[in-house]
Structure 1
């Protein structure tokens, strides 16, 4: 509950209230729903960047980000079909198009578009509540776009559209050490064993029946 409340406060309430205050100074902000929500979205992205940058100040979190990079490298290697050795895995990128960081930045960009349909004359409370209600829709759209884009990275337009998320991963995915890659590889092997081992078990039971 505390984490949820903090997230709502930082990424919904703070940008919305900040935009409202700016609208008192710059009246053009309140005159257009598009302008209002663009300012709101820019503030949200700035808060997110500050949040990520502040996390990088922690040595423990930086180590987590190194494991994040190891995860990306390992998934890249698996999807490329190469032999899964630490040496081969280390040759791949620390960024990945299906990364959660990219997903979050897509959510924030899409929110600007979706929130622009909220009438500008709605009260502050209704604007706040509507943002919470619309968040599942925005998250769903962002998820589908992330999946689609990951399959179309050869398309120049898609590469441009996903570039902000890839750039942002430079802050959340760091170059891992060899032992961190080995941990990521072990984790991947465990997942593959769980997935394909269960499939083989089900096939065996089906044949026995």
Structure 2
């Protein structure tokens, strides 16, 4: 529901995860542009990244909203979704799933970036990891679980807890 999406967006934006998410993107931008991995330089990089999983979540959300909720033909919904996600994905990243990173978060992102570069230079292949480990390390599964868990937990809790009953009615 729209209320649930707004609550999720507000929670994500206010969480520390959004700062770390921004720091990761900024570090990747710096690496791709051959910029030095220094906090001052990395902090100047943009927060949205074109290959972020948020873009896929936006694409999926727009498609599901149009096809399932608004009952638009799936083909038409797909065309609209593909056109919209190119603009909406970066907008959602800039305004919801990232926020300005603290120096500590940027330093953490730089550390992770250096580890990745080191593994790459040593020839440690990403494809040598098991399929499940690669999926887990992408983080999309964790985001999907975090997105869906409240939708399933609230109805279960609503049967027994009055506050949750009120919250569930509000979010519907």
TM range (shorter): 0.5 to 0.7
Match of 2:99 among 174, 180, 188: 174
- Do structure 1's residue 83 and structure 2's residue 33 form an aligned pair? no
| Higher deviation after alignment, 94-103 or 63-72 | 94-103
- Do structure 1's residue 164 and structure 2's residue 121 form an aligned pair? no
Find the residue that maps to 2:123 and give its secondary structure. helix
With normalisation by structure 2, the TM-score equals 0.56
| Cα drift, residue 196 of structure 1 | 2.2
- Quote the Cα distance in structure 2 between the aligned partners of 1:83 and 1:55: 29
- Do structure 1's residue 53 and structure 2's residue 10 form an aligned pair? yes
- Quote the Cα distance in structure 2 between the aligned partners of 1:180 and 1:161: 27
Find the residue that maps to 1:162 and give its secondary structure. helix
Find the residue that maps to 1:97 and give its secondary structure. coil
Call closer, same or farther: CA 1:187–1:69 in 2, change over 3 Å: same
Call closer, same or farther: CA 1:76–1:162 in 2, change over 3 Å: same
Gaps of 5+ in 1: 1-42, 119-137, 146-157, 201-209
- Quote the Cα distance in structure 2 between the aligned partners of 1:197 and 1:67: 26
- Quote the Cα distance in structure 2 between the aligned partners of 1:95 and 1:73: 8
| Cα drift, residue 68 of structure 1 | 0.7
Tell me how large the CA RMSD over aligned residues is: 3.0
| Cα drift, residue 66 of structure 1 | 0.6
Call closer, same or farther: CA 1:50–1:85 in 2, change over 3 Å: same
With normalisation by structure 1, the TM-score equals 0.47
Instruction: Give aligned pairs, total.
Output: 116
- Quote the Cα distance in structure 1 between the aligned partners of 2:74 and 2:16: 41
Q: Which runs of 4+ in 1 moved over 2 A?
A: 45-50, 54-57, 109-118
The equivalent of 1:135 in structure 2 is none
Question: Of the two, which has the highest radius of gyration?
Answer: 1
